Structure 1
Amino acid sequence: MTFIESVSTCFKKYADFKGCASRSEFWWWVLFVLVVSIVLSAINEKLSFVFTLATLVPYFAVTARRLHDTDRSGWLQLLGIIPIIGWILLIYWCTQEGKSTTRFAVNA
């Protein structure tokens, strides 16, 4: 999946926590949010904050779909609340290759 396709898909599935997201979809989204946040914070902190709030739900949704692709519950992203260990665990899971069949797959 390309950068544009990934960002477009994440906005189309704004609050869709069902299904799976590929590694490329997830990581392109993370890059998009990171770069835009940095650029906006250099321009205006309030603008960056508004962007962060606007992309928070799709960020949680794509993370849940990414975890589904590795056959894990989307609720496991709550481990991100735990500093360092939770973050490392989530990054590790999100970098893993997706499973060919998962219990979270949605028949399209």
Structure 2
Amino acid sequence: MEWMLLPLRRYARFSGRARPKEYWMFILFLLICFIAISLIEGLLGLSTTEHWVRRGPWWFDTGYQTRGGPLTGLFGLAMLIPWLAVAVRRLHDTDRSGFWLLIIFFPLIGSLILLVFFIMSGTRGANRFGPDPIEVGEPELVSPSRK
């Protein structure tokens, strides 16, 4: 749980490096929260569901599309800055500038390239963005009983 909330403690810190564990645990935290919020919005009737039917000469297609409500929007807006910060720090760990995040504007290829960068292990030792977070350890995660 500590790894999931670490980017929230480093809310807008764009300098330094982030381990893969910090990034992926935060993504897991966001996924769990978005699922919980969508369930709550569904129970409260805040989300909108659209039923669509398409008919063609040789096919028939139907489905549902649910859009998030106001709670989803507010949570997503609140988590935008911590996600950007941890993503930039994750890119720093692979010795890349945070401007690599702009590649996401290339629809499919950009997302795949960023995914590969986020999965890659960081550079060992210090790089131009700071010391290796694995070597120096995470001081915020050391509990008082372990000191």
TM-score, normalization: structure 1?
0.90
Map 1:5-84 → 2, pairs under 5 A: 5-44=2-41, 45-84=69-108
In structure 2, distance between residues paired with 1:6 and 1:78? 26
Structure with max Cα Rg: 2
Report how far residue 106 of structure 1 moved: 5.6
Segments of 5+ residues of structure 1 without an aligned counterpart are none
Instruction: Verify the 8 A CA contact 1:6 1:24 in the aligned structure 2.
Output: yes
Q: Name the structure with the higher helix share.
A: 1
Structure 2 SS opposite 1:84: helix
User: Post-superposition, which runs of at least 4 consecutive aligned residues in structure 1 deviate over 2 A?
Assistant: none
Equivalences, count: 105
TM-score, normalization: structure 2?
0.67
In structure 1, distance between residues paired with 2:35 and 2:106? 24
Q: Name the structure with the higher strand share.
A: 2
Report how far residue 88 of structure 1 moved: 0.1
Equivalent position of 2:112 in the other structure:
88
Q: Percent identity?
A: 38
Structure 1 vs Structure 2 CA RMSD: 1.6
Equivalent position of 1:105 in the other structure:
130
Instruction: Verify the 8 A CA contact 1:18 1:106 in the aligned structure 2.
Output: no
Structure 1 SS opposite 2:95: coil
